[in-house]
Amino acid sequence: MASDLSLLLIVALVAALSFSQALARDPGALQDFCVADSMSKVIVNGFTCKNPELVKVDDFFLSGLNVPRSTMNKVTSNVTLINANIIPGLNTLGISMARVDYAPRGLNPPHIHPRATELQTVLEGSLYVGFITSNPENKLVTKVLNKGDVFVFPQGLIHFQFNLGRTRALAMSFLSSQNPGLITIANTVFGSKPNISDDILSKAFQVDKKTIDWIQSHSPILITLSLFNDSMASDLSLLLVVALVAALSFSQALARDPGALQDFCVADSMSKELVKVDDFFLSGLNVPRSTVNKVGSNVTLINANIIPGLNTLGISMARVDYAPRGLNPPHIHPRATELQTVLEGSLYVGFITSNPENKLVTKVLNKGDVFVFPQGLIHFQFNLGRTRALAMSFLSSQNPGVITIANTVFGSKPNISDDILSKAFQVDKKTIDWIQSQF
C-alpha cells in the first residue's frame, strides 16, 4: 500500500507542478469557512464544504504536535505535514504547517513545494539550510540557523535543511497553501515508476549509464513526508485524486496576495541594494517579549517589513507571548487566515462567525495543539494558566493587517461620535465617553 501511495503521491505532485502556473495561490474563500467534507463524491478545487450546521470546533483543531517523531529512516528526518486533509477547517484558507524532526546529521533532502512559500523557525538545535535560484543563475543561497532564527524558502524553488549539530533539531514550518505539494528531487528523478530511461538521465547528469543504473537501483531517498495520522491512509487515495483535480482547476478570485512572477522580489527600501542571504533571514525569535502592558500579551509580527525576502510570497508569522491572564484582545486580520500552535502553557481561544449567526467557537489549547482562525473573522486568545504561555502563529499574507476591535471602534482618530456609538452599543453616551477616554 505504501509504495502505491508513493506512486500516487509522485504522480499527483508532478501533475500539480505542471499546472502550478494556473494556481499561483489558493483560491479566495467565499464564506467564513468551508470545512472539508471528505465523504463527498463531488470533485472541486480543494474539498466540498461540510454542512455549516454540522461543523464542530474540532474541525479547526489538532493536538499532539509537541510529540517528537521517529527519525529512523534513510535520511533521518521526519516531516509531519498538517494540511487540509488533517485539519478539515483549513479547506479553502490557503495555509498549512509542518513539524520537522532532524536526528544529528539528519537531512530534509532537496525538494520543491509547487504551490507554497515556506517560512521556517528553529525551536531546537541548528540547521544548515539553503535554496537554489532558477535558471540561468542557479545560485545556492545558504545559511546556518540557530534556535529562534527564521528563514524564507520562496515558492517552487529547490531547498533543503541539514542538521549540522550533535543533538536532535526541531523546526516548525508554515506554507502558503492548504495543500503545498512535495516533490523530492532525488525520488522523482531517479526513483520514478517506470524509470526515466538511462539514456536521458546519463545525458542530463553527464555521467555514464552504469552510474545512472546504480543510482536507480538504489532507490535513492525515501519520501519523508508522513501524514499526521496514519489511520487516515485509507482516505488518502481519494484525497489524492481530489488533489490532482484541484491542480487542474483555475483560481477564480484574487483574495490572496498576487502570485509571484519571479523566484523572489526582495522589497527594495533603498534603491540599488543587492539581494543577500540575510534578506531571507531573521534571528532572535526565541527571546521572550515583555508583556508589561494593559492586556498582558505581546505580538511580535514578522512580515515583509521585517524580512524583506517575504515580499510577494504571501506568508508571514508572529511570536505571541502571554503573561498569566494575558489576553490577545479580539481582532481581525483582513487579509489572512491564521494557523497557531502552542509551544508553552495553555490558551483559551475563539473566533466568531459572521452575521447573522455570530456563533462563538472556542477551545482550550495545550502545548502541541494547533488551531485555525479563518480569514477576516474576529478572534482572540486568553492565557488561562498561572504561568506564561507562548505560541507561534502563521498568516497567509505577507502583510495580514490587524484590526483590534476595541481600539478601532473606541480609539479611532478622530473619535467616532458618541451619538453613533451609544446607538450601536445600546449604552448611554457617558459610558461611551468613558470607554473612549481609555484608548
Q: DSSP per residue over 385-411, as a string?
A: SSS-EEEEEEESSSS---EEHHHHHHS
- Cα–Cα dist 86/62, whole Å: 8
CB of 317 to ligand NAG, least distance (A): 16
Residue 261: helix, strand or coil by DSSP?
A: coil
Q: What share of the chain is helix, strand, coil (3-state, %, to 5)?
A: 25, 30, 50
Cβ-based nearer residue to ligand NAG, 134 or 436:
436
Among 216, 251, 286, 305, binds ligand NAG (CB under 6 A): 216
Contact status: 235 vs ligand NAG (CB under 6 A)? no
Cβ-based nearer residue to ligand NAG, 6 or 134:
6
- Cα–Cα dist 68/80, whole Å: 10
x/- string (CB under 6 A) for ligand NAG, residues 13-32? Answer: --------------------
Residue 333 marked in a binding site:
no
CB of 235 to ligand NAG, least distance (A): 9
- Cα–Cα dist 93/340, whole Å: 14
Cβ-based nearer residue to ligand NAG, 266 or 317:
317
Residue 159 marked in a binding site:
yes
Cβ-based nearer residue to ligand NAG, 11 or 275:
11
Contact status: 286 vs ligand NAG (CB under 6 A)? no
Cβ-based nearer residue to ligand NAG, 229 or 362:
229
Among 53, 271, 414, 426, binds ligand NAG (CB under 6 A): 414
Cβ-based nearer residue to ligand NAG, 186 or 277:
186
* Residue 378 CB contacts under 8 Å (≥ 6 apart), including other chains: 330, 331, 332, 351, 352, 405
- Cα–Cα dist 196/190, whole Å: 7
Query: Quick one: which H or E segment has residue 109?
Result: strand 107-112
Contact status: 224 vs ligand NAG (CB under 6 A)? yes
> Interface residues for ligand NAG in 113-172 (CB under 6 A)?
none
- Strand spans (E) along 306-429: 316-322, 327-332, 338-344, 347-352, 360-365, 370-373, 378-383, 389-395, 403-404
Judge whether 263 and 157 are in contact, CB under 8 Å.
yes
Q: Give the gyration radius of the chain's Cα atoms.
A: 23
x/- string (CB under 6 A) for ligand NAG, residues 166-205? Answer: ---------------------------xxx----------
Contact status: 407 vs ligand NAG (CB under 6 A)? no
Cβ-based nearer residue to ligand NAG, 325 or 359:
325
Distance of alpha carbon 171 from its chain centroid, rounded?
13
Contact status: 431 vs ligand NAG (CB under 6 A)? no
CB of 253 to ligand NAG, least distance (A): 32
Query: Quick one: which H or E segment has residue 307?
Result: none
| C-beta atoms surrounding 427 within 10 Å | 14
- Cα–Cα dist 24/13, whole Å: 15
Cβ-based nearer residue to ligand NAG, 40 or 415:
415
Judge whether 111 and 158 are in contact, CB under 8 Å.
yes
CB of 339 to ligand NAG, least distance (A): 17
Contact status: 355 vs ligand NAG (CB under 6 A)? no
CA dihedral 424, 426, 430, 436 (to 10 degrees): -40
> What are the binding residues for oxalate?
108, 113, 118
Give residues in contact with ligand NAG (CB under 6 A).
64, 69-70, 73, 78, 193-195, 213, 216-217, 224, 226, 229, 231, 289-290, 293, 298, 413-415, 433, 436-437
> What are the binding residues?
108, 111, 113, 118, 159
